[in-house]
Structures are given as structure tokens and as C-alpha cells.
Amino acid sequence: MTRPPGRWLQRELRRRLMLPVLAIVVISVVVSAFNAHALVERIFDRWLLDAAHSLGSQVRFQGGQASVQLSPQSESVLTYDVVDRIFYEVLQDGRHVAGQPGLPQLGRKATRYRHNSEAFDASYGGIDVRVGRVQVQGPHGDSAVVLVAETRTKRELALRAQVLVFAPVAILAVVAWLVVSSAVRRTLRPLRRMAQAWNDGSHTSLEPMATQDVPRELMPFAVALNDLLARVRELLLRERHFAATAAHQLRTPLAGLQLGLARAAACPDLASTRAALDELASSTQRAARMVQQLLALSRVDPAARGAIEMVDVDLVALAREVGEAYMDAAQARHTTLELDAGEQPVHVQGQPSLLSEALGNLIDNALRYTPPGGRVTISVRPEPPALGVADSGPGIAADETDKVFDRFVRGRGMTGEGSGLGLAIVKEITALHRAEIVLGRSEELGGLAVTLRFPAA
């Protein structure tokens, strides 16, 4: 089974949770390490400059010449260090006065401090050192420069200690990543159980999933899926019922066709053969009408509504066009078909072919159930926009006005050749256009009056 394309929710949650945490940790470590390194450097620089100031306090000026009176014990104290090597030099106007000659007077990464002092990195005798430089002023404007240098061993050890201090932070970040990953997996476990429950069920089963053990956060998702399954189940049941009923309804005209063919084949003369063929043609027309209405009903099925585009429709023009198409059928039944509409157009938003189908079904029903010599009137009203068909037929009993909209249902006493689908098609098309369908009795003609009332365009 191939995995469906798309992002993994587990990875997405882990990334969204951990990236900000890792970013904060990294930034905190970098800033803390930088500040700690700067603090350590300043502390060591202060010690170095304190030694330079102590040495500077031993500088004496006599006759404009600087000298250093430093006992062996004092020099030993000055240069003693367990870890680093210490060097010093005193200069006056660039001239060596005391200490180890050749200490650098300038360097890189210089940091200035108070009391006319600074510290910088340099190299002395091929060794990297940190040099503290202090300016000493004499009583008569004389000056000398005191340099104290030390190797960088202590500083490097301090830097390594910082790395060791921050190493647990990195380990903690890895542990946090593992903890978050485990938490995300546990959090998504109900989703996997839900998916497994659906996968374990029958592929043809549309029963809703039990929601007793579903976490509260997933309840809307589970309820929405169950609602979707219920709608799909209802739609499938409707389709199965429709297919079964359609097959049952088509069986009658198809049986009539078979019987008509058998009669035509058994006729002894031309006259009886022609009569049998006339009955066969009538059965063929009924079957064709049934198939046509089934196709029309499938076009306005709720599953196909999303693809229907609404446009501006003139009900007067549509009524005139559809009425003219049924003139021949009305004349064949000796029925008067007339249009009651003004000259001004009446506009609604709709789908022309579907509205024509609805009006055609109303006219067809009226013609089928109106006795010869009767009348059928198509009416259009502007306020509110309405389209109606009235006839002088028997009408529909009051207790059947709701049932006649069901598929394959015909009113009591209906003797016409209808299929029971006409008003069902009209109902679906009316609902699609957000219109209202009203059944009543025509005051003028005495038969059934069907009116479709549309929202204003």
C-alpha cells in the first residue's frame, strides 16, 4: 500500500515545537558564551593591569630619567604564576629601562581601560601573549610605559571550561527533542487508532465510528466524519432505491414492448398488424418518456448541483418558447394551450435548460391529465417573480399535495399515462433555484394550479 502524498503531521508538529526551542537554546548559548568569554577576558585583563600598576608604582624619576627599584623578592612575586609565564618591561621614550627587552607595545584586539591603560593580544618570542600596557606619569611631566605580558594558558583553560559548562545544554536539547518526539507520537496515537478503526472495518460499511474514547480535541473531526458518512450512506440508499424503483417502473413498458412485438408477429392480416404496431409505438413512447425523465432527474440530483451555473433568465421569453414547443401536443389532445404574461420581461437567476425542463414537465402533466376540450394556461407574474401552469383537469386531493412530489408517485384517480416523475423533477429544480413551489386549485379553470415563486433577481 503506497503512502498518500502530503506532509507528515508528526514531523510538522515536531518541527513547529522544537525549532523555536532550539533557536532559543542556540541563541542563549551563543550570547551566554560570548558574555562569559568577555567577562573572563576582562577579569584576566584586570589582574594583568593590576600587576602593571603595581610595577608602575615602583618607577622613580631622577633628573628626567626613569628607573625601577625592584628587589629580587618583588620581581619573583611579580613574575610568579603556576600556569602562565609572566614577562615585563619598563620603557621611557622607547628606551628599555628594566625587565625583558622587546615586549610588543602594540597589538590586536586592544581593549582600553581606565587610568590610561589597555590590554591587547600580541606575540613575543613566538608565543601568543596578552599584554597589559600602563602609562606612568612623573612629578615633572616625565612619563614611562610599563608592559606586563602573560601567556594565554589560563584563558584557554577558561574557554575549555566554558565549553564543558555549555555541553550539558546541548545534551539537554537532544533530550528535549526526544521527549517532544515521544510526546507527539503519543498525542497522535488516537488519530492512528481512528484510522485503524476505519481501515479494519468493511470497505462497504458506512456505519459511524464510536466516539466514546475519542479525545475531546478530536471530537469535532470524528463528528464531521460521521456526519459525512451518514450523508453518503443516505445518498447511496436513495440511489439504490431510485435504481430499484426505476427498474421496476421500466419493466412495465418493456413488457408492453415485448407483448406488442409478439402480437404483431402473430397477426394474420395487415389491419391487425397495423393496430398491434400502433400499440407498440405507444409503449415505445412511454418507455422513451420514462428514460427521458430519469435522465432529467439525474441532472438535478443533489450530487450534481455544484457544477450548475446560474445566469439571468427572462421567464416571459422562456414560457413563450416552451409553450410553443408543446402546441402540437396540445392540438393532438384537442386541448387549448395559452400564455398569460405581460410584454415586459421578468428576470430571475437560473439555469435556462433546467427551468425549461421544469416548465415542460408541468405542461406535459397538465396536458396528460386534462380531458379533451379542456384548457391549460401558462402564466408569468412579475411581483414576486413567478411561473405557473393551471389546467381544467381533475386536480389533486388535498391530502395528496405532499406525496405527489415523491418519485414514481401518482395521485388517486389519475388515468393519464404519466410516470410519476414529473413533479419530482420540478421539485428538485425548484429547490436548486431556491424557489418555492405551491400547489392549489385554479379559480378560473377549476383544475390543478402549480406556481413556482422565485426570489427577486
Residue 293 maps to which CATH number? 1.10.287.130
Domain of residue 88, CATH code: 3.30.450
pTM of the predicted structure, to 2 decimals: 0.47
- The sign of the torsion formed by the CA atoms of 298, 302, 304, 308 equals positive
Buried b (16+ CB within 10 A) or exposed e, 77-92: ebbeeeebebbbbbbb
Place of cell 395528496: 400
Q: Is 432 in a helix, a strand, or coil?
A: helix
Could you tell me the three cell numbers for 143?
612619563
Residue 178 in domain? no
Beta-carbon contacts of 96 under 8 Å, excluding residues fewer than 6 positions away, are: 89, 90
- Whether 13 and 153 map to the same domain: the answer is yes
Out of 283, 299, 315, a domain closes at 299
List residues bridging with 203 in a β-sheet: none
d(CA 377, CA 265): 43
Distance from C-alpha of 391 to C-alpha of 449, rounded to nearest angstrom: 7
Per the structure, how many domains does the chain have? 3
Question: Are the C-beta atoms of 131 and 122 separated by less than 8 Å?
Answer: yes
For residue 207, being part of any structural domain is answered with no
Q: Which residue range(s) make up the domain with 398?
A: 307-453
List Cβ<8 Å contacts ≥24 apart for 296-300.
296/357, 296/361, 296/421, 296/425, 297/242, 297/407, 297/421, 297/424, 297/425, 297/428, 299/354, 299/357, 300/354, 300/425, 300/428, 300/429, 300/432
Alpha carbon of residue 169 to chain centroid: 37
What are the φ/ψ torsions at residue 80 (nearest 5 degrees)? Answer: -80, 130
pLDDT tens over the chain, length 457 residues:
445 444 566 677 777 777 887 888 788 878 887 888 888 888 888 988 888 888 888 888 887 788 887 777 777 777 778 888 889 888 888 888 888 888 998 888 888 888 778 999 999 988 999 999 998 888 777 888 999 999 988 888 888 887 777 778 778 878 888 888 887 777 777 777 777 776 765 455 677 777 766 777 777 877 888 888 888 887 777 777 667 666 655 665 676 677 777 777 777 777 777 777 777 776 676 667 666 666 666 666 655 555 567 889 999 999 999 999 999 989 999 999 999 998 899 999 988 888 988 898 899 889 988 999 999 999 999 988 999 999 998 888 766 666 666 665 555 445 445 556 668 778 888 888 889 999 889 988 889 999 999 987 6
> Based on the number of CB atoms within 10 Å of its own CB, is 283 exposed (0-12), middle (13-18) or buried (19 or more)?
buried
Residues 313 and 444 grouped into a single domain: yes
In this structure, is residue 177 part of a structural domain? no
Q: What share of the chain is helix, strand, coil (3-state, %, to 5)?
A: 55, 20, 25
